[in-house]
Amino acid sequence: MSRILIIEDELPLQRALADNFSFESYEVLTAADGDTGYRLAKEKNPDLVILDLMLPRMSGYDVCRKLRAEGVSTPILMLTARGEEADRVVGLDLGADDYVTKPFSVRELNARVRALLRRPVPLRTLPDELRLDNIRINFRSYEASRNGRSLDLTRKEYQLLRLLVSRDGEAVTRDELLNEVWGQETYVTTRTVDTHVSNLRAKLEQDPHHPRRLITVHGVGYRWLAESS
Ligand code: CA
């Protein structure tokens, strides 16, 4: 049974969320302030955290930042108020995985939670090689070159790239990349994915600051584009 931690100081909302998730057969933990929520997130090992932003004692941002800085990669779904676009962007930058805007429908929330808790198994075959522009990569022999000069890619970079290439054109979430490439390794966060993507860009893109192949899908993750638009 998946365990959900709800960190929300508006008690009627906290109670409604707790009832909803209990009804959906999740094990529910609750906290009404950031500090308690942060401690429960660390000590009780929840599978998902629902995190309000405006909280007493420690803001939702700080909870998120501290957990990620300490290597806790539990999915975090933020609750934001309407019109707080900047807040959402900051929250996602701090390592939250998704958000819903208040007021939200229970159906939407449940769908987001299910999506975050899903641990996808790769169904499609991974490609053995990539030949594009002047890039040649063999994912089996771990050999790569660009313009005939050999490229030094780390094993994780090969794995990450291979997964993205296998999903050509499709946005792959940072969490999914993390699960597939790093699995149960500790001390990695979605930030780790970002770092590897930026290293790959430096090696593969003509202009790493304006990538044409390894595209950021804001608030979601990354997309490999074989066909540039
Ligand atoms: Ca609040």
Ligand 1 center to 78 CA (angstroms) = 11
pLDDT score of 41: 97
| Mean pLDDT value across residues 138-158 | 93
Beta strands in the chain (DSSP E): 3-7, 27-31, 48-52, 76-81, 98-102, 129-132, 135-138, 143-146, 149-150, 171-173, 214-217, 221-224
Sheet strands side by side (includes 129-132): 129-132, 135-138, 143-146, 149-150
Residues present in the chain in total: 229
Furthest CA-CA distance within the chain: 63
**Residue 212: how many CB atoms within 10 A of its CB?**
14
3-class state of residue 214 by DSSP:
strand
pLDDT score of 121: 41
pLDDT score of 26: 92
Name the percent of the chain lying above pLDDT 70. Answer: 93
pLDDT score of 124: 53
How far CA 228 is from CA of 56, 157, 160, 168, in Å, comes to: 47, 21, 20, 11
pLDDT for 146 beyond 50: yes
pLDDT score of 107: 86
pLDDT score of 158: 94
Cα within 13 Å of Cα(92), Cβ side? 20
Ligand 1 center to 73 CA (angstroms) = 23
Residue 207 DSSP code: S
Ligand 1 center to 90 CA (angstroms) = 17
List pLDDT tens digits, range 85-138: 667 777 777 788 888 888 888 888 988 898 888 755 444 567 889 999 899 999
pTM more than 0.75: no
Phi then psi for 93, rounded to 5 degrees? Answer: -65, -30
Task: Output 24 or 197, whichever has higher pLDDT.
Answer: 197
pLDDT for 174 beyond 80: yes
Decide if 167 contacts 132 (C-beta within 8 A): no
pLDDT score of 61: 92
Residue 55 DSSP code: -
3-class state of residue 74 by DSSP:
coil
List pLDDT tens digits, range 45-82: 999 999 999 999 999 999 999 998 888 889 999 998 86
Name the percent of the chain lying above pLDDT 90. Answer: 57
Ligand 1 center to 3 CA (angstroms) = 22
Ligand 1 center to 59 CA (angstroms) = 9
Decide if 69 contacts 43 (C-beta within 8 A): no
